[in-house]
Amino acid sequence: MAFADNLQQLPSVDHVAELQLRDAQGQLVTAIPNQPGKAGSVRVYHALAARHGGQITVAAAHEGLALFAEHTDAARLHPGSHPNIDRLFHIIDSGEALQVQLVQR
C-alpha cells in the first residue's frame, strides 16, 4: 500500500502537539511537531511506539520503513531528504532504540 493508505489505518494524533525522541540517557534527540509536512511522521512514530512499548526499536524501525512505503525508497536514494526515515535507518544500523514522549495539545 501507499503511504497515504497506510496513514489511514493508523490511530489519530489530533491530541499530540509534538512527539519527542529521547536516547537511552533521556537526552532529547529530536522533536517532531504535529504540523503539516510532519504530521504523517508523527502518526507513524506514534503508532510504532504504541505497538513497541513506548519506544522505537529495531523491529519498530523495520515496521516504520514499511509504513512509509514509497517515501522509504526516496529516502534511500536521497539521504537527508527524509530525516524521520533516515532516523529509522540509523536505529536499524546502530541497534539503539529511542524512547517516545508525547507532548499533548
> Within 10 A of 96 (CB to CB), how many other CB atoms are there?
14
pLDDT in tens, 27-37: 999 999 999 99
Going by pLDDT thresholds of 50, 70 and 90, the confidence category of residue 22 is very high
How much is the pTM? 0.96
- Sign of the torsion formed by the C-alpha atoms of 45, 76, 83 and 100: positive
DSSP H stretches of helix in the chain: 3-8, 39-51, 58-68, 70-77, 83-94
Q: What pLDDT, on a 0 to 100 scale, did the predictor assign at position 1?
A: 84
